[in-house]
Amino acid sequence: MIKHILSLLTLTIAFAVGQSAFAEKPNIVVIMADDLGYGALSCYGAKSFKTPHIDKLAAEGLKFTSGYCSASTCTPTRYSLLTGTYAFRGKRTGIAPPNAPAIIKPGTETVASILKRAGYTTAVIGKWHLGLGGESGPNWNGDLKPGPLEIGFDTCFLLPTTNDRVPQVYVHNHRVPNLDPNDPLWVGTKKPNPDHPTGMTHRYTLKMDWSHGHNSTIHNGISRIGFYTGGHVARFRDEDLADKWVEKSVEFMEENKDKPFFLFFSSHDIHVPRIPHERFQGKTSLGYRGDSIVQLDWCVGELMKTLDRLKLADKTLVVFCSDNGPVMDDGYKDDALEKLGSHRAAGPYSGGKYSVYEGGTRTPFITRWKKRIQPGVSKEVVCTIDLAASLADLTGQKLPKDGCLDSFNVLGALLGKKEARGRDHLVQQNNGNNGTYALLAGDWKLHRYDRKTARNVVVEQKLANKKVPQYQLFNLKSDVVEKFNVAEVHPEITAKLKKQLTQIIQQGRSRP
């Protein structure tokens, strides 16, 4: 009898401990903006408009002044965030074309697979741009796999590429919803027929004109990169994207409110074509680019209101970040340059999207977990690539030796723990694996250009290439704009950082 009672007591204690551990696992919501620069929010110094919902998130949490993404373009940053591995180590990790196959292969350890193993229900909603399907690319009229569901996500509702690339349809799990079999979807790299309307042949019909590169298939009065036909019933309207992401995210949180969930909210704002919903058009003096930032802020507000309504705010870790820095003219004539005024989208930093200057990879970065994270400002260096190792630690999961090769556990810094430190170094890249890198180490930053020219985006100007030496060294403490190359003045530091960067690239990993 006593033995039976002790056995029951042991089971009861074990159950209670298990329940307590389960209850302590916070929901995790990662919100990634698109092309949002360091200075693009009022809580980071913007004065041309207000972003009250993101400002509130920052006021209730930890605002990082040295928060980074690992690349200055979208596909490699998203690859690195999910896999915890620098994108330059992977194949085809540059900006993905419309028919790109799945870049992250099934079996790869990801943030989603880590959290799913920890008992979380996982979802990605919004922009994907990491390819779909096998080596031959997406089967748009059939099963679109492998994709997110093969790397740890339980569900997805996606913009499959990026909205300046075709096709303008959603993907729900493995299928394009509302696709009429009598109107099949075709996506290609060449005109399907000589009469196919494009931004070149039918420019007079466009409601937003292109400035460079975006002059192929027309949809919703906007020409895009690439060609497609069919799927007319399944196509979306640009103006409705943000509302759809919020709608599907709210549904997901409501359905999973009683168990731990991970939501990757991958916004398309403020990427081109910038066509916010009509209710946001004209809300700022900066044109559609500024209006899209206000729309993004609204999205964040709706997600936070949902957490409040479901009484989950105290049980949810929220991470807000961006995939890269800002760009003005990125292919469309949307008055982003003409109406910029005194706004500094990259804040005090030089460069932006496509560059390894600070403006390309230093972005807004905020964490909030009510009653757990003490509100404040942190100078610690943290990066989106570190979410894999940090969230694994948070949820008690071990990383495999051959996975998440460059993700550092900076959980203490993300939670604002005293004495906790962020990274002591970070490799930055521009796009794919083309030999443009930067190594940040303390106050020093080394640029490496394996090509003779480099993209240096100054956000107040159009994209520009300039000739540069292979290596440049900057002291960010005295030169935040990376104007003065001091490589010859400090040859010993230059040599040390060159060696460190080469070792990181060649050894195939940087995580101990």
> Once rounded to an integer, what is the mean pLDDT over residues 462-480?
87
- DSSP 8-class letter at 62: E
Cβ atoms of 119 and 27 closer than 8 Å: no
Question: Residue type for 383, please?
Answer: C
Q: Which of 5-14, 152-161, 279-288 has the lowest mean pLDDT?
A: 5-14
Strand partners, 72: none
Structure tokens at 399: 């990383």
Length of the chain as a residue count: 512
CA distance 92 to 39: 31
pLDDT at 184 over 90: yes
Hey, is 325 helix, strand or coil?
Answer: coil
CB atoms within 10 A of CB 291: 25
Q: Give residue 11's pLDDT band: very low, low, confident or very high (50, 70, 90).
A: very low
pLDDT at 325 over 60: yes
Element (H or E) spanning 363, and its range? none
Cβ atoms of 176 and 170 closer than 8 Å: yes
For the chain, the average pLDDT equals 93
Answer with the residue of higher pLDDT: 357 or 1. Answer: 357
Q: Give residue 434's pLDDT band: very low, low, confident or very high (50, 70, 90).
A: confident
The class level of CATH for 26-193+232-414 reads alpha beta
Strands (E), 184-290: 186-188, 218-219, 222-223, 227-229, 261-266
Answer with the residue of higher pLDDT: 129 or 431. Answer: 129
CB atoms within 10 A of CB 469: 13
Q: What is the pLDDT of residue 7?
A: 43
CA distance 247 to 242: 9
pLDDT at 44 over 50: yes
Q: What is the pLDDT of residue 21?
A: 35
Q: What is the pLDDT of residue 3?
A: 43
pLDDT at 2 over 80: no
Instruction: Find the farthest-apart pair of alpha carbons in the chain and give their distance in angstroms, rounded.
Output: 88
Q: Tell me if 26-193+232-414 shares its fold with 426-507.
A: no
Whole-structure pTM value: 0.94
Q: Give residue 5's pLDDT band: very low, low, confident or very high (50, 70, 90).
A: very low
Q: What is the pLDDT of residue 18?
A: 35
Indicate if the alpha-carbon torsion angle 203, 208, 210, 216 is positive or negative.
Answer: negative
Q: What is the pLDDT of residue 467?
A: 81
Domain boundaries, the chain: 26-193+232-414, 426-507
> Once rounded to an integer, what is the mean pLDDT over residues 172-179?
98
pLDDT at 112 over 70: yes
Helices 241-255, 288-309: inter-axial angle, 10-degree rounding: 10
> Once rounded to an integer, what is the mean pLDDT over residues 389-406?
97
Q: What is the pLDDT of residue 12?
A: 39
Q: What is the pLDDT of residue 464?
A: 65
Hey, is 257 helix, strand or coil?
Answer: coil
Q: Which fold has domain 426-507?
A: Arylsulfatase, C-terminal domain (3.30.1120)
Q: What is the pLDDT of residue 291?
A: 98
- DSSP 8-class letter at 97: P
CA distance 327 to 455: 12
Residue 373, preceding bond cis, omega within 30 degrees?
A: no
pLDDT at 6 over 90: no
Strands (E), 62-192: 62-64, 67-68, 121-127, 155-159, 171-172, 186-188
**CA 245 → CA 266, 267, 298, 347, distances in Å?**
8, 7, 12, 28
pLDDT at 151 over 90: yes
pLDDT at 318 over 60: yes
